[in-house]
Amino acid sequence: MPRTKTAHAISDHIKNQLICVVTKKRYLDRKEELSCYSYDAFWEESIPDAVIFPRTADEVSRILKIASRHKIPVTGRGAGTSVCGAPIPLYHGIVLCFSKMDKIIEINTRDRYIIVQPGVINMDIQKALTPFGFFYPPDPGSMATSTIGGNIAQNAGGPRCLKYGVTMDYILGMEVVLATGEIVNFGSKNIKDVTGYKLSSLFCGSEGTLGLVTQAILKVVPMPETIKTLMVSFKDLDDTARAVSDIIGSGILPAAMELMDKFTLNAIEDSFDLGLDREAEGSLLIEIDGVKEACEKEMGKIIKKLTENNAGKIQESSTETDRQRLWTARRSAYGVFAKLAPDIISEDVTVPVSKVPEMIRKIKRITKSYGLRAGVLAHAGDGNMHPMIPANKNDKEEWTRVEKAFDEIFEAAAHLGGTLSGEHGIGLAKTRYLPLVMNQDTINLMTRIKQVIDPDNILNPGKFV
Ligand SMILES: Cc1cc2nc3c(=O)[nH]c(=O)nc-3n(C[C@H](O)[C@H](O)[C@H](O)COP(=O)(O)OP(=O)(O)OC[C@H]3O[C@@H](n4cnc5c(N)ncnc54)[C@H](O)[C@@H]3O)c2cc1C
**Each residue of 290-322: pLDDT tens digit?**
999 999 999 999 999 999 999 998 999 889 898
Q: Which fold has domain 224-339?
A: Alpha-Beta Plaits (3.30.70)
Q: Are 234 and 275 in contact (CB under 8 A)?
A: no
What pLDDT, on a 0 to 100 scale, did the predictor assign at position 59? 98
Beta-carbon contacts of residue 88 (< 8 Å; ≥ 6 apart): 38, 39, 40, 42, 44, 45, 46, 75, 427, 428
Distance (Å, rounded) from C-alpha 305 to C-alpha 162?
A: 18
CA dist 21 and 27 (Å) reads 10
* Ligand 1 geometric centre to CA of 177 (Å): 19
Ligand 1 centre distance from Cα of residue 331 (Å): 16
End-to-end CA distance of the chain: 13
Residue 2 predicted with pLDDT over 50? no
User: Is the distance from CB of 56 to CB of 101 less than 8 angstroms?
Assistant: yes
What is the spatial distance between Cα 98 and Cα 185, in angstroms, rounded to a whole number? Answer: 18
**pLDDT category of residue 273 using cuts at 50, 70 and 90:** confident
For domain 340-454, is the CATH number 3.40.50.720? no
- Distance between CA atoms of residues 407 and 435, nearest Å: 12
The residue nearest atom 44 of ligand 1, judged by CA position, is 208
Measured from CB, residues less than 6 Å from any atom of ligand 1 are 40-41, 75-83, 86-87, 98, 118, 140-142, 146-147, 149-151, 153-154, 156-158, 207-208, 212-213, 334, 423-424, 460
pLDDT at 7 over 50: no
Confidence of residue 357 (pLDDT cuts 50, 70, 90): confident
The pLDDT of residue 349 is above 50: yes
Q: What is the pLDDT of residue 465?
A: 80
Which candidate, 308, 326, 307, places its Cα nearest to that of 316?
326
Where along the chain do the CATH 3.30.465.10 domains lie? 102-222
Which CATH architecture does the domain made up of 12-99 adopt?
2-Layer Sandwich (3.30)
Sequence ranges of the chain with CATH classification 3.30.70.2190: 224-339
Q: Enumerate the β-bridge partners of residue 177.
A: 183, 212
| Domain 102-222: top CATH class | alpha beta
**Average of per-residue pLDDT values in the chain:** 94
Residue 4, pLDDT > 70, answer no
The mean-pLDDT minimum among 219-228, 261-270, 332-341 falls in 332-341
H helices of 35-71, in order, are: 57-69
Domain with CATH 3.30.43.10 in the chain: 12-99
| Distance between CA atoms of residues 185 and 336, nearest Å | 41
- pLDDT number for residue 3: 56
Q: What is the mean pLDDT of residues 324-346?
A: 89
- Give yes or no for residue 335 having a pLDDT over 90: no
**Count of CB atoms within 10 A of residue 261's CB?**
24
Report the separation in Å between the CA atom of 154 and the middle of ligand 1, taken as the mean of its atom positions: 6
- Of 77, 117, 450, the one to substitute when testing ligand 1's pocket (max ligand atoms within 8 A of C-beta) is 77
What percent of the chain has pLDDT above 90? 89
What is the C-alpha separation between 366 and 375, in angstroms, rounded? 12
**pLDDT score recorded for residue 449:** 97
Pick from 63-72, 187-196, 217-226, 273-282: least confident: 273-282
